[in-house]
Structure 1
Amino acid sequence: MTNAYIPQAKLANQALVGKIKDIKRAAPNASLDVTGHSLGTMVSAQAVAKLYQDNAKAFEKIGRVVLFDGPDVTQSLKQMGLSDKEIKAVGEKVTYYVNPFDMVSMLNRTAPYEAQFGKVNVIVPLNFSTTFDGATSSHDFGEFQIDAHGNPLSASETFHPEMLTAGRKLAKLLDTTFSKVGATGIKRVATGVILAALSGGVSALIALGMSALDAKAIYDAFNKAYKGIVAEAKQKASAWNQTHIPDYQNRIRRASGSQKIELRSELLQSVAQDAVFQSEAFVSEVKMIMNQGLETVQKEIQEGHQAAHNLATYLDSWEVNALLAEFNLSAFWDSGLESDTNRAANAYLREMSSVSATLMQVSQHIEAVDSEGASGFNQLMAETQANFGRR
């Protein structure tokens, strides 16, 4: 995050040099593919770039460099001494897949995607989550979906463009937040502190010498804006689905071959995502109605008790309380039914999530499932339900 040539990359470069010598000796016509995730993307990119810088002939043995959930390393490559022309040459072999909701993916990505190092693909993630959302962290491989061609499902200007926008907004938010931290006068902390803050809370910022007030203000502002970016993207994704799902049938009728397969896969992905959106909204509405109903009943009981005490001028308070003993929440609100309704709503959401996950699986293997018909779908459904049962 400080645009340094990191020690791990220096070691990886040495490993590449040695491995390429082995390949030339044992399999002269073979090439070496390189991949990495998170920190591994920086290690891989810098190691390969150094190889190009030192030995262009050896660099020719590098095949594809495919990187997941990593920041742009352009500035670090410049600090390593590579020119713009050299960075572009290395980038011809590099493909990134980045999650628009992941902080690590969006570091140093305020420049247009096409101006960044390598070919940058912004994925359409499985969940709308932040980097620190535990089981569904946007930094995990579990967030990658696969398209009809076997590649990570990626956004474009014509397919879920809200993901491209979300990534740009998160990149800008990170840059702005770093500037705020740097403005406090803490040397070389600006690019690293927000990750420490989010993993350790405001105390991590205070430990670095920042005042509690400043730390909380920066932390709260970042957290609110970050979650806002994800929530806005979810709302826009739902709107995109509602607008485009009806169009897919006509487009599929007109398409042929691989294009038809791709469109059918995209349709299933969108339907699956929309099913989860609608079930989440339904369950949320059910719970909101129950909460509102409970609050109304509690309010009416409280007002009834108060009215009775006000009217009972000639009775002692204990006599009024005795008369109102049966006028309580249990007489007017069935807590058992409330629990049953909550359980049913949660079960419905789990079931819809299971169906959605199955549709995702079908979209990734659409030709195979299509040839197997209902039996293939039923098998995937059974496997998915078994997986959900283990959660």
Structure 2
Amino acid sequence: MADLKNNSDIFADLAQGAYYNRPEHKMLADPDKKQLESLRDKGYAEYNFGDGVKTVYLQPDKTLHTEQIVTNLQVPKINGGYETQSYVTDTYQKGLLTDEKAGYNSYFVTDKPNVKDSKETYFVTRGSDGMSMENLNDWVNNNANFTLFNSYIPQAKLAEKAMEAKIKELPKGATMNVTGHSLGTMVSIQAVVNLPATDIDKIGRVVLFQGPDARESINKMSKQARENIEKLEAQGKIDYYVSPFDIVSMLNRNKKGVDEIGNVHYLMPISGTNTLQTDALHGSSHDFGQYQFNKDGSIKEANVKDNPEIFEAGIRVSRLIDETMAQIVKKAPQIAGSATLTAVLTSMVAVSGRVDIATIVAASGGKLTKEQAMELYDTFMKKYNGIIKDTEISMKRNSEISNLKSSISTSTGGQKVKLRAELAGVVAEEAKSYGREYNELVKNCQQETEDEIDQIVREVYEGAHGSAIYLSYYEVEELIQSFEKDRLWDNSQAADNLKEAKKYKEKLDKFSSALKDVSKNIQTYDGAAGKSLFNEKPKTVLEPWNLHF
């Protein structure tokens, strides 16, 4: 477990603070002695995260109480027969913002000590630090419906009721922001979209960290829920921060025909770790310790132009998840479309190694043999770690290229020739990788654009036919005619884009091969040709971030 290196983003601070075992004085989940006394005596607890972030105040859940779990037993009477006796076997905390039995915890935070004086408030939902054998049951039982069936999960229903209640407490002009991490993102987004239409205008920003996309689940919800998400997206209020190396972040992403929710920001990780490497220096890819920050305190994110390898990694991890699910079903068809499938996938990334293969077999209910489980595990981990390694190498090359260019500018003579040879070799490798990344990104960007157009066409169609009671059939048809997909999307241009991308990849492969040759014979080429090679501006190519359709 690793914590944020910088506390300059209030949303990240609050999402991290929803967990236990985080920095003292900064845990909403575990207030310190002074904060607990303030909650009791003043009705709020002050939190100052530092680094220029404003002070906020945790509000108590006044409905919190202890519930008893009672077990009834039939016991024999002394004079014969039986009687029912009740025993308290366990207790749990329950309230508007907490239901320990359901695995639900949220926190209500304000920008002023009292709610009535606040202008900006925050609804924070706790998620999960990462998959492990300790919380495996929680992942499977609480999220199988979301992962497999895109259902409205139980915790989200609890959160929606709590959000409604807290919005009613807001003074005029105040807004409520929503944030959460991991499983908390699923709860948050499903709860928000199911609010009454009158409450949606009270929502400020929805900032979610390292959770799966929920588009397919929301598409199955009510018309009001779909209208709510459409309104929030149109206002640019929803932001997801995801890690390309994190299985949870990449779940349900980069799927054909699915337009992902909100603005999706790919984090620039500090190091290449997978979701389970919680003991790594900067934590696993699912943890806050991997976040980098810009000089202005904002979270550092990748951009397609400078960091294509990050986006390619995300696409590859998304595909690996889908591919693995398909392989599990192929080996054990009986578990297709059941919670057992989720249990198997989760156990595969939760086990500590091949020594725990029996856990995967158990998760499958005995439907997988030990040999099948081992084959699935080995294949998955080899590909998963391979994606991370490939990306790390590419990131390292980018840094090397920058350093070598800087060194060349200040060197002379033989040293300069040697550095040029080194630079040529590194650029040759990067050119080959860039060609592959570029090809993947063009395909993915184009698919995302087509998905967005499909979504628009569906919405226009639904809206137009919803007006049929006011318009004639011909008026409805005329209304939607200009929004038919064939008018908005050029299949011929799309095919040409893919052809050009493939050609560009092939050219870069040839360039890489030629440049390797140069690096081995740099002194021969260290004349006009060599200078031309390093000084000539590249020809304009089709950029995946600037496609036309």
Report the TM range for the smaller structure's normalisation.
0.5 to 0.7
User: Aligned partners of 1:36 and 1:18: how far apart in 2?
Assistant: 19
User: Aligned partners of 1:248 and 1:123: how far apart in 2?
Assistant: 26
Match of 2:169? 22
User: Aligned partners of 1:78 and 1:69: how far apart in 2?
Assistant: 21
User: Aligned partners of 2:256 and 2:237: how far apart in 1?
Assistant: 19
Q: CA deviation at 1:28?
A: 0.8
More strand by share: 2
Contact kept? 1:88, 1:117, Cα under 8 Å = no
What amino acid maps onto 1:153 in structure 2?
A: K
Match of 1:67? 208
SS in 2 for 1:131: coil
User: Aligned partners of 1:78 and 1:232: how far apart in 2?
Assistant: 35
Match of 1:98? 242
Contact kept? 1:95, 1:118, Cα under 8 Å = yes
Indicate whether 1:197 and 2:197 are aligned.
Answer: no
Contact kept? 2:254, 2:315, Cα under 8 Å = yes
What amino acid maps onto 2:231 in structure 1?
A: A
Match of 2:316? 169
Q: Residues 98, 157 of structure 1: CA spacing in aligned structure 2 closer, same or farther, 3 A cutoff? A: same
Out of 251, 259, 263, the position equivalent to 1:119 is 263
What is the RMSD of the two structures over their aligned residues, measured on CA atoms?
2.3
Q: Residues 245, 60 of structure 1: CA spacing in aligned structure 2 closer, same or farther, 3 A cutoff? A: farther
String of CA shifts for 1:139-191, please: whole Å, max 9, x gaps.
11111111233221111112322111101110110011011112221141334
What amino acid maps onto 1:64 in structure 2?
A: R
Match of 1:302? none
**What residue ranges of structure 1 are gaps of 5+ in the alignment?**
250-391
String of CA shifts for 1:193-215, please: whole Å, max 9, x gaps.
22212223422221122111111
Q: Residues 242, 114 of structure 1: CA spacing in aligned structure 2 closer, same or farther, 3 A cutoff? A: farther
Q: Residues 247, 64 of structure 1: CA spacing in aligned structure 2 closer, same or farther, 3 A cutoff? A: farther
Q: CA deviation at 1:237?
A: 0.4
Match of 2:188? 44
Contact kept? 2:309, 2:394, Cα under 8 Å = yes
User: Aligned partners of 2:302 and 2:275: how far apart in 1?
Assistant: 19
Q: Residues 235, 113 of structure 1: CA spacing in aligned structure 2 closer, same or farther, 3 A cutoff? A: farther
Structure 2 counterparts to residues 318-357 of structure 1, below 5 A: none
Identity %: 37
Match of 1:216? 374
User: Aligned partners of 1:39 and 1:113: how far apart in 2?
Assistant: 24
**Number of aligned pairs?**
243
**What residue ranges of structure 2 are gaps of 5+ in the alignment?**
1-146, 408-549
Contact kept? 2:313, 2:388, Cα under 8 Å = yes
Match of 1:143? 290
What amino acid maps onto 2:341 in structure 1?
A: A
User: Aligned partners of 2:299 and 2:258: how far apart in 1?
Assistant: 18
What amino acid maps onto 1:94 in structure 2?
A: I
Contact kept? 1:114, 1:120, Cα under 8 Å = no
SS in 1 for 2:198: helix
Q: Residues 158, 39 of structure 1: CA spacing in aligned structure 2 closer, same or farther, 3 A cutoff? A: same
Indicate whether 1:154 and 2:305 are aligned.
Answer: no
Match of 2:385? 227
Structure 2 counterparts to residues 360-379 of structure 1, below 5 A: none
Q: CA deviation at 1:114?
A: 9.7
Q: CA deviation at 1:89?
A: 2.6
User: Aligned partners of 2:258 and 2:295: how far apart in 1?
Assistant: 24
Contact kept? 2:216, 2:258, Cα under 8 Å = no
String of CA shifts for 1:85-107, please: whole Å, max 9, x gaps.
65433333210001111110110
Out of 174, 192, 197, the position equivalent to 1:56 is 197
What amino acid maps onto 2:307 in structure 1?
A: H
What amino acid maps onto 2:286 in structure 1?
A: H
Q: CA deviation at 1:192?
A: 3.9
Q: CA deviation at 1:18?
A: 0.5
Q: CA deviation at 1:36?
A: 0.2
